[in-house]
Amino acid sequence: MEIKKLNIIITLGFVAIIGILIAQLLWTRQAYNLEDKKFNQTVNIALLEVAEKLSGGKTSFTESPVQNISNDYYVVNINNDFHPAVLEHYLKTEFTRFQINTNYVYALYNCHSDRMIYGKYISSHQKNSGNKTIQFPKHKNLVYYFSIRFPDKATYLISSLRFWYLLTFALIIILLVYVYSIYTIIQQKKFSELQRDFINNMTHEFKTPLSSILLASEALTKQELIKENPRLQTYTSIITDQSYKLNHHIEKILNIAKNDASGLSLKFQKINLLPFITEIADTIKHKNENLTIRIEIGDTVSVSADEFHFTNIIYNILDNSIKYCDTAPHIIISAFKDSKGLYLKFKDNGIGIPPKNIPHIFDKFYRVPTTKSDEVNGFGLGLFYVKKVVQQHNWKISVENNADKGITISLFVPF
């Protein structure tokens, strides 16, 4: 069902963005056509003014003297002789007045030599740009006239539509980013599913031989020969302890895989913190003779949580405090309330965490690169599991280094 929804979202997203892009291209094309029409109208009006001035206002035109021969080529009929310098002056004046800021070339017809006399290439940026060879054909039935071309008309129109082209380019970039994002999401989803399947298969395959090892080690401890030999008893206890530790790691991996797949199934109940944490602390102290745990929690302090996963949270935090300590571990567990909620703090005297690594300690498979981390066995899943469970309880977790030594892990339980 999730894959089907994802495919629908991807398809709708593609259709929407491509539709917007096509609409934008059509609008840009329409804007170009409107700008071209506006340019032609403005040039016609400007050239009509030039024709009026060249005729001295004496000639009344029965029809427009301006002929638009092609997209960038205009011919203007005057019906009387005029000087090229006067024509150039009027062209510059009228084009400036109508804000036609593009390059143009003009030429005029000489009726005595029966040919087009080339005028000048006028640049909008320079007063005199020199000569530039451009073809001006001769026209029949016209005696006194001049022609004008706009060789850079397309460039000029495009530059006047910079906003439209920038917007279109931005939409293309957004489409590319969307495609790349969808591709990345699909790849990550495939990788996540592959990783989850691998973890599930691996852990289940480990479960069978591990169960056999635990059964065999428990049977060995009951043998009279083992009980009479302290060295063999030590070896069997090591096998049993390490097997239980490995089983604990496998259960942790399975819980994480289950959480990634469908989320944890939580059964909330009211838990009195003082006896609950005291029992966990006593269990851990039996395995660590040098460990000291001080609990500063009131008798009436309680939370609503899943007992199994809350136990794992506390166990993982205390276990990390013990493992990452180079002296006798000393842990202070305290709790206090304010107007927002309950704060449960775990302060230790361990080696601490470099500030740059603190944002990453809850990442999956992440381990702080220290000498102590190399000595301690683990997969970098403990705090990742803790944060996942905390988030599903709608709690918050944070870590900070102590002023003297070690770290303090804080759980915030809102009211």
- For 339-362, write each residue's pLDDT tens digit: 889 999 999 988 888 888 888 888
Same domain as 202, residue 151: no
Given this model, what pLDDT does residue 60 score? 59
Same domain as 211, residue 120: no
Same domain as 300, residue 183: no
Tell me which residue has tokens 């030599």. 113
CATH number, position 304: 3.30.565.10
Q: Which residues pair with 396 in a beta bridge?
A: 412
**388: amino acid identity, one letter:** K
Give the tens place of pLDDT for each residue, 122-150: 776 655 455 555 656 666 667 677 888 88
Domain count of the chain?
Answer: 3
Domain final residue, candidates 262, 290, 305: 262
Given this model, what pLDDT does residue 159 score? 79
The count of other CB atoms within 10 Å of the CB of residue 73 is 18
DSSP state of 59: P
Same domain as 392, residue 276: yes
CA distances for 153 relative to 104, 206, 230, angstroms: 9, 76, 100
336 token code pair: 């206090």
CA dihedral 233, 237, 238, 241 (to 10 degrees): 180
Same domain as 44, residue 152: yes
Given this model, what pLDDT does residue 309 score? 84
Given this model, what pLDDT does residue 284 score? 84
Cα(362)–Cα(396) distance, integer angstroms: 12
263 token code pair: 């989320």
Same domain as 156, residue 174: no
Same domain as 313, residue 240: no
Closest CA to 55 of 77, 27, 33: 77
How many alpha carbons lie under 13 Å from residue 399 in its C-beta half-sphere?
20
The count of other CB atoms within 10 Å of the CB of residue 128 is 9
Task: Report helix, strand or coil for 50.
Answer: helix
Give the tens place of pLDDT for each residue, 44-101: 888 888 888 887 766 556 677 888 888 888 888 887 777 788 888 888 888 888 888 8
Same domain as 216, residue 298: no
Same domain as 148, residue 59: yes
Cα(366)–Cα(386) distance, integer angstroms: 13
Length of the chain, in residues: 415
Same domain as 123, residue 23: yes
Tell me which residue has tokens 């009026």. 52
Same domain as 40, residue 125: yes
Given this model, what pLDDT does residue 133 score? 57
Q: Is the pLDDT of residue 303 over 80?
A: yes
306: Cα separation from own chain's centroid? 35
Task: Report helix, strand or coil for 180.
Answer: helix
Domain final residue, candidates 234, 262, 290: 262
DSSP 19-33: HHHHHHHHHHHHHHH
Domain final residue, candidates 220, 238, 262: 262
| 8 A C-beta contact, residue 274 and residue 301 | yes
Task: Report helix, strand or coil for 167.
Answer: helix
CA distances for 111 relative to 108, 115, 117, 324, 382, angstroms: 10, 7, 10, 103, 98
The dihedral region occupied by 222, where left means phi > 0, alpha psi between -120 and 50, and beta the remainder, is alpha
Alpha-carbon dihedral sign for residues 254, 256, 262, 265 = positive
Query: Who has greater pLDDT, 410 or 241?
Result: 410
Give the tens place of pLDDT for each residue, 242-278: 787 777 767 766 666 666 555 567 788 999 999 999 9
Closest CA to 120 of 153, 91, 142: 91
Print burial letters for 82-102: b (CB count within 10 Å at least 16), e (below 16): bebeebeebbeebbeeeebeb
| 8 A C-beta contact, residue 98 and residue 44 | no
| 8 A C-beta contact, residue 99 and residue 113 | no
Same domain as 168, residue 155: no
Tell me which residue has tokens 């940026």. 125
Q: Is the pLDDT of residue 38 over 80?
A: yes
Containing domain of residue 372, as a range?
A: 268-414
The count of other CB atoms within 10 Å of the CB of residue 35 is 16
